[in-house]
Amino acid sequence: QVQLVESGGGVVEAGKSLRLSCSASGSIFSFNAVGWYRQAPGKARELVAIISRRSGTDYGDSVKGRFTVSRDNAKHMLYLQMNNLKPAATAVYYCNATQEPLDYWGQGTQVTVSS
């Protein structure tokens, strides 16, 4: 069992940056995939960024070139650097770790981007 806790969300103006952190209670180094998802009000949860053992790193189309996912295996941490934020990025951001068939989620952290 792995617990994930996100932090770093907040209110920021458009064009600014935020860095989200996800702390895992144990090692997620060997997991099939770790990443970030987000859910805006009234919308489905969508992929933001993922690090997959099979296919490497990938990003949602709307964040490519502006967001960067990284990990610190020694500290059991996952990060999401978000630059040049846009109001459309307003959502709850969730950390995810998958070790099939198990799927772990954090409680989410709110990011609000004002125009």
Quote the mean pLDDT of the chain: 95
Q: How far apart are CA 34 and CA 29, in angstroms?
A: 9
Residue 20 binned pLDDT confidence (cut-offs 50, 70, 90)? very high
Q: What is the dihedral of CA 60, 43, 22, 97, to 10 degrees?
A: -70
pLDDT one-digit tens code per residue, 73-96: 899 999 999 999 999 999 999 999
